[in-house]
Amino acid sequence: MDKERLAFLNAKALEIRKLTIEEIGSLGTGHIGGAMSIVDLLALLYFHRMHVDPQHPRMADRDQLVVSKGHSGPAVYAALALKGYFPKDWLETLNRGGTKLPSHCDRNLTPGIDMTTGSLGQGFSASLGIALGLRMDKRSSKVYTIIGDGESNEGQVWEAAMFAGVQGLSNLIGFTDYNKQQLDGYTKDIMDLDDLEAKWNAFGWYTQRVNGHDIEALDKAIEKALAQGKKPSMIIMDTIKGRGCFFAEGIQNNHSMAFNMEKAKEAIAALEASASQA
């Protein structure tokens, strides 16, 4: 990836972060932690990797994204608005009555959302079904799917892992947002995932581990995942929960936080200041 492209994508990630903080701040509460940790991946997928058309969100030959950790909705909506799926002012309606942007992703409400998610584990299974269906239809589209490390405590994830491995679903590229935290604590204390790479390998997946905030490294990992062409892929992303929002980043109890617009503006100013120094 050339320097210009990388700068463009990092700028998109910054925009997505700012909009995500603003959305949640204007509502007064929301899932800031797990939204912020997947932003760099969202910038890469929507603005570089995925074949999509915001004017035709259900285009048959599009690539699809299933955000199985559906509570990250606010970051996904920020990316979709920036991409042009809907007007940016929709973001001001996040999770309010009558909104098209509920706190968890809903394919029946939001243009650009490919699967309804929120009940952890289920979106991941659905992504396998989509990938299998596309293969049966002989389409070359890819399915990208994002699960959480807390979500990986769900038995359904491992049932799906086994199925995709046996089926050799090479059109499926999964990401684990390994931010080491879940709703009410650290994953190692609640149900440790131990050697996560060994687990995915054992289930027949092509497994890689990268810094989930390094867009270039993520892009290379996707390139390798697509090139191997035999197995489903799992890219384990080391991430920081709340990344880029100073009062949420890496602290305990940052899963869902209450904060107002004043605090949001402070966080956005801090983000802008650190981006201008980079």
The residue ranges that bind ligand TPP (CB under 6 A) are 33-34, 37, 69, 71, 118-121, 148-151, 177, 179, 181-183, 241, 255
Long-range contacts of 267-273, Cβ-Cβ distance < 8 Å, separation of 24 or more:
267/21, 267/25, 268/18, 268/21, 268/22, 270/246, 271/14, 271/17, 271/18, 271/21, 271/244, 271/245, 271/246, 272/14, 272/18
Residue 70 C-beta: closest distance to ligand TPP, Å: 7
Rank residues 204 and 242 by Cβ distance to ligand TPP and give the closer one: 242
Rank residues 25 and 73 by Cβ distance to ligand TPP and give the closer one: 73
Return the residue nearest ligand TPP (CB atom).
Answer: 148
Rank residues 85 and 175 by Cβ distance to ligand TPP and give the closer one: 175
Residue 177 C-beta: closest distance to ligand TPP, Å: 5
Backbone φ and ψ for 69, nearest 5 degrees, come out as: -80, 75
Residue 253 C-beta: closest distance to ligand TPP, Å: 12
- Map residue 144 onto helix, strand or coil: strand
Tokens 């001001």 belong to 92
Rank residues 49 and 69 by Cβ distance to ligand TPP and give the closer one: 69
The DSSP annotation for 60-82 comes to: TT--EEEESSGGGHHHHHHHHHH
Residue 175 C-beta: closest distance to ligand TPP, Å: 11
Residue 238 C-beta: closest distance to ligand TPP, Å: 12
Rank residues 38 and 81 by Cβ distance to ligand TPP and give the closer one: 38
Query: Could you give the CA distance from residue 53 to residue 154 in angstroms, rounded to a whole number?
Result: 33
